[in-house]
Structure 1
Amino acid sequence: MWNNRGLLDVIKSFLPPFSKLIILEAPIKRPAVMMADLDGDGVLELIGVYNWQGENYIIVLKYYLGAWYVADIIKGKGYNITYFNVAPITGKNKNNLVIGWQVASIWSDLSMYEWTDMGLMDLIEGNKYYSMIEVKDIESKQGKDGIYELALWIHDTGDAYKVEIYRWSDDKFVLASDVYPYYYEKVVNYYKELLKENDSSTYWYYLADAQMKTGNTQEALQSIDRSLAFEYPYPSREELMDLRRDICEYIPFQNEDGIDFSDVEYICSETERDIKLEKALIKEFELEENEYNIRYYYNKVDLNEDGSPEVFVYLVGFPLCGTGGCSAAIFKQEEGEYNLLARFSLVNNPVIISDSKTKGYRDIIMYVSGGGIESFFALIKYDGMAYPSNPSIQPKVEPGTKVRGIAIVADDISKNPGITLED
């Protein structure tokens, strides 16, 4: 219980008739009154927030020659306050008054005040709305610097919040990206707990965002794929795919031999284990149990535009790889089963699915290299029944060709281990 009766009596003696001090509800219930050194002179000011005639005001009292006097009174915002504290935000040795003015049940409008020769000045122009706030000196690689950041949790839907972290720099707030890996661990844990109770595309999306900000891109890809698995993914399938592409680490094809690859879009492999697909791979490649030291990468792509995507799988590991590349396969999804459409050897990733078609199926371009042959780009066309299995004996992509399409399995496999094949 906040019980500094002496300070309350002092500040009340300076308030207008019929005014009331604002009562903070959290973290403990107490009047919005505190003492802090706002001007850096080593003497504490007495600060309070009150409501008078339906509007909120801040009052600052200074102590001089044994008596208190009013140093400043300014009008606030909203109908209540949800946050009231001081912290060194604009500099290590200067306290700033931070107030969250409540404007709706879950919304507050942020103000951050600095003491000037004219009294309090709000450094935030306009409105800065948030739902929850944390003001603290957040650690970075260099440790803590004594200057506080502001973490704003902005409500979206359900229990989902967008989290933004700001620091003061060059007379304005900027995003404090250097502290993301440390603070966003808290956000990751928040969404993991939510997902234990509610399997939500929204929560998977925000978990992915937090994982990206901690630098855990592999787990972020998995969370994006979980979000994409919903019939109506959040925020949209297009935005999730854009996000997925943003975190895909790949080495693009260089324009060579007169072939232009500048319009090719790169997509990393999916991250969710597919048990039925694994069983189909074990059966098709006749793998023995002691040969399961194999990784696979896969993407779903609609090769014949019938609305049912085929699955392209790239396999890495002995005995499926040689000096000229590794093995791959394409499966059709039919009645919940995977049926083989094509099988390849001597494959190097990424694999381009071209916009051009032959006999209703999109052409495939593979980079052929190693095995003692001169490297080239092979054009693989559907023959009406399947795709040819050996790219090294297929025709070359003609010089002067501008390739349009998507490069799947674009992962840097030296960094992304893929999915381990299990029985």
Structure 2
Amino acid sequence: MWDSHYVMNVILPFLPPYSEIVELETTPKQPAVGAVDLDGDGVLEMVGAFYWRGENYIIVLKCFYGTWQVVNVMKGKGYGITYFGAAPFTSPSKNNLIVGWQVASHWSDLSVYEWADSGLQDVIVGNRYYSMIDVEDMGEKDGISEVALWKHDTGVAYRVEVFRWSGTEFELAVDVYPDYFKKVERYYKNVLKEQDSTTYWYYLADAQIKRGKYEEALTSIEKALSFDYPYPGEEELLTLKKELKKLRNQSDSYEPFVNKGDIDLSSIQYITSEKERDPQLEKALIKEFEYTDEGKARYYYNKVDLDGDGNPETFVYLVGPYFCGTGGCSAAIFKEQDGDYSLLTRFSVVNNPVIISDAKTNGYKDIIMNVYGGGIEPFFARLTYNGITYPGNPSVQPKVEPGTKLEGVAIVADDLGESSGIELKQHNGS
């Protein structure tokens, strides 16, 4: 494969006098040139962008019988180029030339060129503005690339959308959101480490919603609402919060608790567990429980902010012969930092769902567990944080007082007969 300097040296003799190859503002700077098969014949063309008489141009060279010849020269847009690359965007059998034409300090205009008999043709009608761009085959790899456009809002906040080519136009590629928005979520978490802002909390919530992480999104929205002037506005955030509560209570949920023992459970919101496997969490579970793959086991988990610091803890419920007995199954709470999990509390004889109360003790939310089985008279136990950990055995903890109205959420609210959870697997090197 030819390197960029070789391609540039081939292209230079074909450029008009006093023209210059465009340099991309990368680190280090790179010339906007490349060798790519644009027409799908298996032979690479040479493409480059050059600046001449105040205008940007693209040139395409093709080799005929060992001699390079110009087959297309086309005027571009803007005053610079921020992106110059190629990917199969309209068809898996050939590449498209993808160019970001700089039109303002924070804005570029996207062009996606397809080779036709008359040369390069932009499949995008009109303008498609963006500030940053990712081009890759996202989600299930099908040989077709999607494009993520980051559109500048304020500060270092961007509104992100992912598109693919439908055959006639751009369309939103919502099926790849759970995959791609991992990156967006990480971006805003890192931004928030440097600057606490209602805007960044809102955009973090947006990324979490697009990943289906509704409970974490609710926590982020609460953070956004805590500012004097919440972004994008208090009414909009409250509406979004209401819609999220409906979403998190959909499908595969446990039958709600019935009020019993003069305990009012009518205000409890139910949340099913996360569906995405977490290999790092699995390694932590296997290490903590010394699990050696003895029998089939599965786990259910939810992220929940117990201490209100904006970094949710992970509650895990484990099911299988290794973890369960007549009184319930094992569970654990982990703290997470930079992808590593450390144990906060390990529980025995737990039944799902588990209520995370709005009430706090020593800065952490109280946990309410439904204790039954093993010959014990059923009751709701209140587990309170002692400054270091929670008690591990709910069956010996104080009962929730009669007449109490519990406020909060019930996590791991899965029907275990219908929801298969996530299989707990041994990992090499774990």
Classify the TM-score, shorter chain: 0.5 to 0.7
Q: Of 290, 296, 299, which residue of structure 1 is paired with 2:357?
A: 296
Map 1:216-227 onto structure 2 (within 5 A). 216-227=213-224
What's the counterpart of residue 114 of structure 2?
114
Check 1:227–1:67 CA distance in 2 against 1; reply closer, same or farther (3 A cut).
Answer: same
Map 1:107-186 onto structure 2 (within 5 A). 107-138=107-138, 140=139, 143-186=140-183
| Cα contact 2:4–2:33 (8 A) shared by 1 | no
Stretch of structure 1 that moved more, 8-17 or 168-177: 8-17
Instruction: Give the deviation of 1:100 after TM superposition.
Output: 0.6
Q: Of 201, 204, 228, which residue of structure 1 is paired with 2:201?
A: 204
| Cα contact 1:297–1:315 (8 A) shared by 2 | no
CA deviation profile, 1:204-234 (whole Å, cap 9, x unmatched): 1011111111111110000000100111001
RMSD (CA atoms): 3.6
Q: Which runs of 5+ in 1 are unaligned?
A: 252-265, 276-292, 299-313, 326-342, 350-408, 417-423
Q: Distance in 1 between matches of 2:236 and 2:402?
A: 33
| Residue 95 (structure 2) pairs with residue 95 (structure 1) | yes
Q: Distance in 2 between matches of 1:28 and 1:179?
A: 31
Instruction: Give the deviation of 1:245 after TM superposition.
Output: 1.7
Q: Distance in 1 between matches of 2:180 and 2:215?
A: 19
Map 1:338-349 onto structure 2 (within 5 A). 345=403
Instruction: Give the deviation of 1:246 after TM superposition.
Output: 1.8
Q: Distance in 2 between matches of 1:414 and 1:44?
A: 54
The secondary structure found in structure 2 opposite 1:103 is strand
Check 1:217–1:120 CA distance in 2 against 1; reply closer, same or farther (3 A cut).
Answer: same
Check 1:272–1:71 CA distance in 2 against 1; reply closer, same or farther (3 A cut).
Answer: same
| Cα contact 1:36–1:86 (8 A) shared by 2 | yes
CA deviation profile, 1:187-219 (whole Å, cap 9, x unmatched): 111111111121110111011111111111110
Map 1:10-409 onto structure 2 (within 5 A). 10-138=10-138, 140=139, 143-248=140-245, 249-250=248-249, 295-297=356-358, 345=403
Q: Distance in 2 between matches of 1:150 and 1:172?
A: 13
Q: Distance in 2 between matches of 1:234 and 1:344?
A: 41
Percent identical across equivalent pairs?
52
What is the one-letter code of the residue matched to 2:191?
Answer: L
The secondary structure found in structure 2 opposite 1:247 is helix
What is the one-letter code of the residue matched to 1:149?
Answer: E
CA deviation profile, 1:381-400 (whole Å, cap 9, x unmatched): xxxxxxxxxxxxxxxxxxxx
Q: Which of structure 1's runs of 4+ aligned residues deviate more than 4 A? A: 2-6, 266-269, 271-275, 314-319, 343-349, 411-414
Instruction: Give the deviation of 1:235 after TM superposition.
Output: 0.6
What is the one-letter code of the residue matched to 2:114?
Answer: E
Q: Which structure has the larger Rg?
A: 1
Q: Distance in 1 between matches of 2:10 and 2:35?
A: 12
Instruction: Give the deviation of 1:348 after TM superposition.
Output: 9.8
Check 1:68–1:272 CA distance in 2 against 1; reply closer, same or farther (3 A cut).
Answer: closer
TM-score if structure 2 supplies the norm length? 0.60
Q: How many residues align?
A: 291
CA deviation profile, 1:390-423 (whole Å, cap 9, x unmatched): xxxxxxxxxxxxxxxxxxx8x777739xxxxxxx
Q: Distance in 2 between matches of 1:146 and 1:161?
A: 27
What's the counterpart of residue 413 of structure 2?
415
Check 1:4–1:153 CA distance in 2 against 1; reply closer, same or farther (3 A cut).
Answer: closer
Q: Which runs of 5+ in 2 are unaligned?
A: 251-266, 271-303, 309-353, 360-365, 372-376, 381-400, 415-430
Q: Distance in 2 between matches of 1:65 and 1:149?
A: 36
Q: Distance in 1 between matches of 2:232 and 2:100?
A: 28
What is the one-letter code of the residue matched to 2:160?
Answer: V
